[in-house]
Structure 1
Amino acid sequence: MRTHFINWRLVLAATVALGAAASLAPASAEVSLKGKRVQLIIASSAGGGTDRVGRLVSQYMEKYLPGNPTIVIRNMGSGGGKIRAANYLMNKAKPDGLTFMQSDGTVISPGTLRRRSARYDPKKFEYIGSLNRGGAILFVSRSAHKRLMDKSKRPVIVAAISGTRSWQAMPMWGAEFFGWNVRWIPGYRGVAQMSKALRQGEIDIFATNNAYIIAQLQADGVIDLVVQDGQVVDGKLSPRPSFKSVPVFSDMLKKAKISKLSAQGFLSMTAPSQVDKWMGLPPGTPKEIVRMYRAAYKKSVTDPKFLEVGRKQFSKEINYIDGQTVAKMVLEVNSAPAAAVDYAENLRKKYGLAAFKKKRKKKKKKKAKGS
């Protein structure tokens, strides 16, 4: 059976057409935020990757938003913070241009949307734009590398963060289709903790898209690179320029000729990572405010000083994605069939990763007799 993967080139081409049509619309009166305090909700604890991206972008948004408003940051981190932040943007934030959010691909994942606590629809957000820092690179400690393909040896330990993380799909599908000898230990809080655990021999595998953490581990002779998610550039999924020799895992799956359902299940977990660190406004925000934020965001993330700092802090491969394209990608990501999302969740259960609590289906009320 032919394997199906999202054609990002068609997604981006369709978005360009939409953008051209939108550009023909008459310009409305300029909106100004002079003297205003704007709240930025960051769906992360302080110090995390999403937080660091949001804080840096906000510094430049203050510069480029008309009226130079003061941006006040509010973190929503531990204890389901990503979902809590999305719920807030969907249900509580006013669509007046005084609240926007910094989040990541996890929030738009079909698996995340199945959680009982998720009370939002990502297709309804007004997307400002996104920064794609390049897909995750999965690596293994050098001392454990030989055991990865040898099931007669003790398993290679994979660190797992609570919730649905896109990179976790690579070792799951690796175990399922390529015979990887792995076992998961969940409960890690983030990259810093996992990096320390790997150096101490507590775990053997994890992944990150942070090129500087990877370079440090390589320089210390701690890891070997195994596979990568890749990065969408000009509509095509390709190896990250800094890691051209590392195989793209989805290419390996295509060659393995996995079923359509298993390919869709893989995409339901990994495609959101290509959206990466996005900013958005509440549903119903007036179009002139959305355009104002999109213009300021583009100026912010293409500012030479921003790029200089961002390439040092996050990745050399920072790729700006405009808001219309993000909206189109979110729509494509959430077009995954329910059976594909089920497939991914069943693999999570099979390999010992905690399953999320699904939403209960609403029961139809029975009509009273005689009504």
Structure 2
Amino acid sequence: MHFTVTPSLRFYRRCALAFVLALCPFAASADTTASDEPAIPDTLTWTVPFGVGGGTDVWARFMSHWMAQSLPGTPAIVINNVPGGGSLTGASLFYSRAKDNGEQMLVTSASTQYPAMLKDPRVRFDYDSWTPIVAAPTGGVVYTQPKFGKTTDEILEALRNNPTKFAMQTPTGLEMPVMLAFDMLGLAVEPVFGMRSRGEGRLAFERGEAGVDFQTTSAYFSNVTPLVNDGKAVPLFSLGVMDEDGHIVRDPAFPDLPTFSELYLAREGTSRDDVAYQVFHKFFASGYALQKLLLIPKGVNPDLIARYRQGARTLMSNDDFLAAARKQIGPYKPVVGEVAAKQLAAAMELSDANRQWVIDWLKDRYGVRVLTK
């Protein structure tokens, strides 16, 4: 069949062709934008500088499950445990070996932050070279044996006049702010170092070898609440949580329990300007308000970092994640991106004078020598 193209048809074809050509630059621009967006690697490796089964390892495995689901392509996330040196070995190796291709991240906790703040010579890494993706706060509670009383005033008075023990891991670890809180309240609490975990400290308390103990929120809910219900332990105070203004306020997990800050600031002649309180506040901020951190080298493509942060931010509106996190770490909402970065920078900034105050306090009060760079 012969088909003849009429002049009018030629006109419409020319118009259609012109329309398509006009659209081409926009199409090319869209393709270029899509191709320029950095791809999330198929496999990510999270270095956890602690052994399997510890609190940081459990948090990392919990978060990796949810983060993988919130990222485009659902990448596989591999947990690489590198224990040793109280987390300093793994963190130092990550610092020296991690590439800035976006495939490698590091998970840290208070046990990593504190030595860095004190300039421990074993620290061979620099937090300034890493940027946070997400940070998870936690709370904690100090509790006592029932023999010291039932009310706050009774217990504080008893602990000021009756020396008792507190089973600890290390003088510069997670319990250090708690030990400082005891001193600031004038309590006759003496540390016993060498526990391998907070769980061992709790067992010493249950055996009656320690008069006071401390547990973070998740461990308190699972292991201490039954003791309280059975009349074998009495909660004394919480460490609290940090509000948007940087002040320590009551913990939503323990709204009826006073914070250490409340008890200290209620004492005559005390204020937030006290050096001891400033030191406590710094270590609380880095060890509890930002207790678990997911970090990535700053040299990674900023657009890729932004995609990881967006994945974490998406979780903040995921009801299933929030419900699971509430069971895992308590009613504390993770902090994401630049907010976490600003809080971390402020928390890790310990003045030379305040650092020396901590070193002198540990030496004079407990005979603990802290080496610094």
Return the TM-score normalized by structure 2: 0.79
Distance 1:66 1:31 in 2: 11
2:185 corresponding residue in structure 1: 178
Structure 1 counterpart SS, 2:371: coil
Checking the alignment, whether the CA contact within 8 Å between 2:142 and 2:214 is kept in structure 1 is yes
Q: Which residue of 2 aligns with 1:109?
A: 114
Tell me the CA shift for residue 154 of structure 1: 5.0
Per the alignment, in what secondary structure is the counterpart of residue 353 of structure 2? helix
- Name 2:364's counterpart in structure 1: 350
The offset of 1:167, in angstroms, is 4.2
Q: If you compute each CA radius of gyration, which structure gives the higher value, 1 or 2?
A: 2
Code of the residue aligned with 1:185 in structure 2: it is V
Please name the residue that 1:220 is paired with: 230
Would the alpha carbon gap of residues 300 and 354 (structure 1) be closer, same or farther in structure 2, given more than 3 Å must change? farther
Q: Is the 8 A contact 2:107 2:295 kept in 1?
A: yes
Letter in 2 for 1:349: K
> For the residues of structure 2 that align with 1:83 and 1:302, how far apart are their CA atoms?
34
> More helix by proportion, 1 or 2?
2
Query: How many angstroms apart in 1 are the aligned matches of 2:336 and 2:116?
Result: 25
* Contact map agreement 1:33 1:68 (CA 8 A) in 2: no
- Whether 2:44 is the aligned partner of 1:38: answer yes
Residues 125-161 of structure 1 show CA distances to partners (whole Å, capped at 9, x for unaligned) of 111011213x221111223557763479652111212
Residues 260 and 233 of structure 1: CA distance in aligned 2, closer, same or farther (over 3 Å): closer
Q: 2:333 aligns with which of 310, 319, 325?
A: 319
Could you tell me whether the CA contact under 8 Å between 1:164 and 1:269 is conserved in 2?
Answer: no
| 1:330-356 CA distance string (max 9 Å, x none) | 211233211112212222233427443
Question: How far apart in 1 are the matches of 2:353 and 2:231?
Answer: 42
Query: Is residue 248 from structure 1 mapped to residue 255 from structure 2 by the alignment?
Result: no
Deviation at 1:84, TM superposition (A): 2.1
Structure 1 counterpart of 2:62, from 56, 62, 65: 56
1:87 pairs with 77, 89, 92, which one? 92
Runs of at least 5 residues in structure 2 that lack an aligned partner in the other structure: 1-32
With over 3 angstroms needed to count, the CA separation of the structure-2 counterparts of 1:147 and 1:250, relative to structure 1, is closer
1:136 and 1:207 in contact (8 A); partners too: yes
Q: Identity of paired residues, percent?
A: 22
Structure 2 partner of 1:98:
103
| CA positional deviation for 1:239 | 0.5
Q: What SS class does the counterpart of residue 36 from structure 2 fall into?
A: coil
Work out the CA distance in 1 between the residues paired with 2:241 and 2:181.
19
Query: Aligned match of 1:139 in 121, 143, 163?
Result: 143
Alpha-carbon deviations, 1:22-50, whole Å to 9, x = none? Answer: xxxx999333235x322111132222221
Q: Is the 8 A contact 1:147 1:153 kept in 2?
A: no
Cα RMSD of the aligned pairs, angstroms, is 2.6
Alignment partner of 1:267 is 2:281: yes
**Offset of 1:109 from its aligned partner?**
3.2
Look up the equivalent residue of 1:164 and give its one-letter code: T
Structure 2 residue 325 is the aligned partner of structure 1 residue 295 = no
Give ranges in structure 1 of 5+ residues lacking alignment: 1-25, 360-371
Q: 1:136 to 1:346 in 2, by over 3 A?
A: farther
Task: Measure the CA separation in 2 of the matches of 1:191 and 1:355.
Answer: 22
**Counterpart amino acid of residue 117 in structure 1:** R
Q: How many Å separate the matches in 1 of 2:111 and 2:283?
A: 9
SS at match of 2:45: strand
Cα distance between partner residues in 2 of 1:216 and 1:168: 26
Using CA pairs under 8 Å that are at least 6 residues apart, name the structure with larger relative contact order, 1 or 2: 1
Q: Number of matched residues?
A: 329
Using the alignment, how far apart are the partners of 2:311 and 2:177 within structure 1? 35
Distance 1:284 1:308 in 2: 34
Q: State the TM-score, normalized to the length of structure 1.
A: 0.80
User: SS where residue 95 of structure 1 aligns?
Assistant: coil
Whether the 8 Å contact between 1:148 and 1:182 is mirrored in structure 2 is: no
> C-alpha distance in 1, partners of 2:142/2:333?
20
Is 1:336 paired with 2:350? Answer: yes
Q: 1:229 to 1:27 in 2, by over 3 A?
A: farther
